[in-house]
Structure 1
Amino acid sequence: MKLNCVIIDDEYLAIEVLKVYCAQVETLSVEQTFKKPGEALEWLQKNKTDILFLDIEMPKLNGFEVLAGLERPPIVILTTAYQHFAVKAFDLEMLDYLVKPIEFERFEKAVNRAAEYIALRKEGEEEENDGHLLIKSDYKLSKVPFNSIQYIEGLGEYVKIYTPDKTFITLAAIKDLEQSLPEKGFVRIHKSYIVAIKSIISYSKTEVKITGNIKLPVGRVFKNSFIEALK
């Protein structure tokens, strides 16, 4: 599987090193390189790529600001001379973090991780109709069977997916996740909650009780559509 990548770094030599490394990986193809992050952001808003090698400390726009401007960023591998950005990078669930000067073996390991991630994501998308939700949680890709989900809680930029065995936390908006669920199996009851219909034990116009004696509120805006979905 051939993977396209984009390199963003304000240092010419840093770009050249990554280009040389990319040339040594048969499955990797450099699609674009950018020294100016503003130009890179404009290109990425209009085009797709598989992997983004992204420097952090750059003039006018830093790497985090570039990412903030992308609705659906590609897989990101940060390349930086500063280790203190690592915590923020992992908080944002970026795939990997390479500290300059970057050794080829470490670069290759990051690319292999990206290739495995992309392959698993593609497999999950192909199997989505077979009953799985594909999410990134705990820095890895996980398949969550639809029939194991009890309910989903939205927490701003994150969601919690509750199953009998485990709770998954992933970076996503609840409205986006809602679109990936089978319409007949789940119902939105509140701006912060989606419930699996099979988990509902009892309900009223203001509250839902689900398996495990869990009680969740029914939002006023969702009341009518919720009652209609259960008919």
Structure 2
Amino acid sequence: MKLNTIVVDDSSIQRITIAKLISEHPNLKLGGDFSNALEAKNYISNHPVDLIFLDIEMPHITGFDLLDGLKIKPQIVFITSKADYAVKAFEYSALDFLQKPIKKERFLTSVKKALEMYQLKHEHIHDDHGPHLIIKSNLKKIKIYTSHIKWVEAFGDYIKVVTYEDTHLVLSTMKAFENELPNNHFLRIHKSYIINLDKVERFNSKQVEIDGEKIPLSRNKKEEIITILENY
């Protein structure tokens, strides 16, 4: 899962600093950095944006003015040197409020909040309308939403379907279960593992990490898998 993110700040130093932090984060994708609200508004009108790091005090059009002109508001993290704006910022349903200079630890806390909020909103949508599977586990038929699956793991003649709620043991082959999953969200990264791409927190040339668990990459398809992960 990667949130499309932009930064809007008239200070080039602050803008470059935050853009660098965004680029380095495994769950953020930098869409652009803008020195004024008008440029940002034009970009938002033509591109999907999930998260904005937004300065409040800018020439001509403030951060608040920018939000007033948006019909659909992404998640907002306000950035400013003055704590006096905090109350008004939260009137705009701000996710967080960061004071300059930005510290990496606080930046990461804001991103964590954004990811959790994004997850909650999308899981709520899936609970009502999302794709699901009927599996048989422990002699019971169970309905599971594919958006809740973190990964699938081979387990002898069975497979383990690991979700946020529970782990289900299902009599099936990996191949048969893989065919039941939406291939635009799930990827076979190893003979023993299928992962939900939306749940990947970080990855390297050897493994991916989901909810703190490290899952190995297949040596044979490592380059192909990494390419898919980088572009997801």
TM-score grouping bracket, smaller chain normalisation: 0.5 to 0.7
Long gaps (5+) in structure 1:
131-231
Report the count of equivalent residues: 130
- The CA RMSD over aligned residues, in Å, is 1.3
Output the CA distance in 1 between the equivalents of 2:93 and 2:44: 19
Match of 1:44 in 2: 44
Checking the alignment, whether the CA contact within 8 Å between 2:4 and 2:48 is kept in structure 1 is no
Identical residues among aligned pairs (%)? 34
Output the CA distance in 1 between the equivalents of 2:128 and 2:90: 27
Q: Shift of residue 46 of structure 1?
A: 2.6
Match of 2:20 in 1: 20
| 2:75 counterpart of 1:71 | no
Output the CA distance in 2 between the equivalents of 1:126 and 1:66: 31
Output the CA distance in 1 between the equivalents of 2:95 and 2:110: 8
Q: Shift of residue 2 of structure 1?
A: 1.3
| 2:108 counterpart of 1:108 | yes
Long gaps (5+) in structure 2:
131-232
Q: Residues 109-143 of structure 1: CA distance to partner in whole angstroms, max 9, x if unpaired?
A: 0001000000110001112349xxxxxxxxxxxxx
Q: Shift of residue 23 of structure 1?
A: 2.8
Output the CA distance in 2 between the equivalents of 1:129 and 1:104: 37
Q: Shift of residue 45 of structure 1?
A: 2.2
Checking the alignment, whether the CA contact within 8 Å between 1:48 and 1:74 is kept in structure 2 is no
Output the CA distance in 1 between the equivalents of 2:39 and 2:15: 15
Output the CA distance in 2 between the equivalents of 1:20 and 1:129: 37
Counterpart code for 1:15:
R
Q: SS state of the match for residue 78, structure 2? A: strand
Output the CA distance in 2 between the equivalents of 1:91 and 1:23: 29
Output the CA distance in 1 between the equivalents of 2:45 and 2:67: 10
* TM-score under structure 2 length normalisation: 0.54
Q: Shift of residue 63 of structure 1?
A: 0.1
Match of 1:120 in 2: 120
Output the CA distance in 2 between the equivalents of 1:84 and 1:16: 24
Match of 1:4 in 2: 4
Output the CA distance in 1 between the equivalents of 2:88 and 2:75: 16
